[in-house]
Structure 1
Amino acid sequence: MIKRNLLVMGLAVLLSACGFQLRGTGTNQLSITELDVTARNAYGDTVRELRQVLENSGVKITAAAPYHLILTNEQDSQRAASYAGNGGSVEYELTKVLNYEIRGEHNLPLLNNKIEVHKVYLQDSSNITGSGQEASMISTELRRELVQQMVLRLEQLTPEQLAKLQQVADEKARAEAQAIEAARQAQDAIPQQSPLEVPEQ
């Protein structure tokens, strides 16, 4: 019995020290060992929580990392999902959308995508304060879900996939540079015409 209690206490300490775990997984296995993580909202809760979860998973967050994760945009929206008669309760759907981009060497974009999460809650017109608190709690849950989904997507990226994405980005950048140079050379090859001289009357 004592051993069992010690085990439960030990697990509780570990969970509290590591923050929340990914839903459905016991450990976070990421092949990315270093990552630069920034956001348009540099001091927002989402980027702060994401950094914390990644660091707890063994990822070193550093500006010198070979890959750069940018949270480019985060949006919140709310819509009425259903109505109850006589001014009763209303179901609202809260939605959070997170757009992100991963850049590699030479700051070249490797991929961009978005994560979208939803949740419905009941707002009681007779208890606006309580409903407001519940909406705030659900918003926090959705933000954590965004972070979880972001880490899951990072987990799915292998070094081979990232190297292939980098190769494609390098080839695209090289082709664009060659096209710009060819256009410049073509422009330079066009003889420059002198302005027409109007004979004096």
Structure 2
Amino acid sequence: MIKRNLLVMGLAVLLSACGFQLRGTGTTELAIKELDVSARNAYGETVTQLRQVLSSSGVKVYTGAPYKLILTDEQESQRILSYAGAGRTGEYQVTTVLNYDIRGEHDLALMSDKLEVEKIFIHDGNNLVGSDQEAATARVETRRELVQRMILRLQQITPTQLDQLQQTANARAKAEADALKAAQKAEAETPRQSPVEIPQQ
């Protein structure tokens, strides 16, 4: 018995030394350590939950951080998958699409993308209260999964990738500024036609 316990403990130490972690027990490590998180709905449940998860993962969330995560649009839709008539059970699908931008220095856009989560729930025409609860639960689970997927997306971003994205954004902004300056210079150097004078009678 003692030998078996020692063997189990030894395996646990060995696995942990190799970096093995059970799902849900590891820490969420992000390359971005400071983040400004905002949304169109500043006090919405998605952005509020996202701020909480980021903070608990060691990310300092505050206004004016070097990088910005902006939840530009969040849309929810619901459709019937199967319907058996009035007063009967049917399947519904709720879908939430979340569009977001990540911005860096000088508020330049580094990347734009979207997340989409779908959940199916049962609607029972004979149990409207229970069906409403099913729908509410589906929406809560959808939002939770959206936040989890966003964290996974952020985890995949490396410091090297951020630097490359920032350099690309800087070069694009400089090219646009140079093009605008050249256009303004060309316009300024273009001789303007003098107004035609009409001789007085």
Unaligned runs of 5+ residues in structure 1 are 1-22
Q: What do you get for the CA RMSD once the two structures are aligned?
A: 1.3
Structure-2 residue corresponding to 1:178: 178
1:18-75 CA-to-partner distances (Å, cap 9, x unmatched) read xxxxx76722111111111011100001111000000100000022311000011111
Matches within 5 A, 1:111-122: 111-122=111-122
- Could you state the TM-score of these two structures normalised by the residue count of structure 2? 0.86
Unaligned runs of 5+ residues in structure 2 are 1-22
2:25 and 2:198 map into 1 onto residues whose CA distance is 82
Instruction: Give, as a single letter, the amino acid of the residue that structure 1 aligns with 2:69.
Output: L
Instruction: Give, as a single letter, the amino acid of the residue that structure 1 aligns with 2:161.
Output: Q
Structure-2 residue corresponding to 1:51: 51
Contact 2:87 2:126 in 1 (8 A): no
Q: Which moved more, 1:145-154 or 1:61-70?
A: 61-70
1:85 CA drift (Å): 4.5
1:160 and 1:25 map into 2 onto residues whose CA distance is 27
Q: CA 1:92 to 1:39, structure 2 compared with 1: closer, same or farther past 3 Å? A: same
User: Which runs of at least 4 in structure 1 moved beyond 6 Å after TM superposition?
Assistant: none
1:45 and 1:171 map into 2 onto residues whose CA distance is 36
Matches within 5 A, 1:1-201: 26-85=26-85, 87-201=87-201
2:125 and 2:86 map into 1 onto residues whose CA distance is 10
Instruction: Give, as a single letter, the amino acid of the residue that structure 1 aligns with 2:160.
Output: E
Q: Percent identity?
A: 59
Q: Which moved more, 1:123-132 or 1:56-65?
A: 56-65
**What is the number of residues matched between the two proteins?**
179
1:83 CA drift (Å): 1.4
Contact 2:121 2:135 in 1 (8 A): yes
- Could you state the TM-score of these two structures normalised by the residue count of structure 1? 0.86
Q: SS where residue 74 of structure 2 aligns?
A: strand
Instruction: Give, as a single letter, the amino acid of the residue that structure 2 aligns with 1:172.
Output: R
Instruction: Give, as a single letter, the amino acid of the residue that structure 1 aligns with 2:35.
Output: L
Q: SS where residue 131 of structure 2 aligns?
A: helix
Q: CA 1:38 to 1:129, structure 2 compared with 1: closer, same or farther past 3 Å? A: same
Q: CA 1:139 to 1:199, structure 2 compared with 1: closer, same or farther past 3 Å? A: same
1:126-161 CA-to-partner distances (Å, cap 9, x unmatched) read 001110011001100100000000000000000100
2:74 and 2:64 map into 1 onto residues whose CA distance is 25
1:75 and 1:119 map into 2 onto residues whose CA distance is 14
Instruction: Give, as a single letter, the amino acid of the residue that structure 2 aligns with 1:97.
Output: V
Q: CA 1:125 to 1:187, structure 2 compared with 1: closer, same or farther past 3 Å? A: same
1:125 and 1:164 map into 2 onto residues whose CA distance is 54
Q: CA 1:86 to 1:36, structure 2 compared with 1: closer, same or farther past 3 Å? A: closer
